[in-house]
Structure 1
Amino acid sequence: MKKPRLYLIKKPHPSGSDAHDPTTIQPHVSARLRHPRQSDPTRNIFTVNPDVDAPTLLTNASQNLAMLKVMSTDLTAKLEGRHRNVAVAMHRLAVLAEMLVNQALENIGSPGSRGKPTGH
């Protein structure tokens, strides 16, 4: 099944020959594609202080992933069919990422631990 194309209509109600005039209808293109050299504004909303140590960053990442896990579990319970399958896949990716971050924390010795990395 083809995806519908989105068009930006400059005039609220094109009529007659104006309805198919290419100057009145333009394919919708994201701002990022129109201006690829311009910085992405969503990347500039949040920044991470480069002076924060790795264990603190990993602890925060682990907590964020845990929250994502809970939200994706709630979402999965409310969906059915292929949308549910997508939510389950997102949940599994969050679980895997949390496991990787937690293992990295263990390997470097998280704050509050005795500082002994657990080499496996």
Structure 2
Amino acid sequence: MVTVDDVRALARTLPRSSEHLIRDRVKFRVGRIVYVAFSRDERTMGFGYPKEERDALVAAEPQVFFLPGPADLRFHWACCHLDRLDPEQMTELVCEAWRMVVPKFLARERLGE
């Protein structure tokens, strides 16, 4: 099981990442671009994810992942239930969401190719 504190610990290690409380929701962003956000009750997490791949993500593990609401389908975004996510999945999802919003050189320095 993953918690907001687990994500926070990882996000603090990512260059240019900052935590914000926006409308009672914890969000992590680089500059003005949000790459991870939590529901108000902190039971679900939204994260940057390629639109063209998210249907396959949800289909592969529908008990863990789900699509964002209709208003957010236009964005590169997917969602998950934190209590069904394991730490390795969380690390990969958060790092890849962060990679989507930082300059390529910075992502290479931190995560490699």
TM-score greater than 0.5 by the shorter chain:
no
TM-score between the two structures when normalised by the length of structure 1: 0.20
Instruction: Tell which structure's C-alpha radius of gyration is larger.
Output: 1
Flag the structure with higher helix content. 1
* Bigger RCO of structures 1 and 2 (CA < 8 A, at least 6 apart): 2
TM-score between the two structures when normalised by the length of structure 2: 0.21
Flag the structure with higher strand content. 2
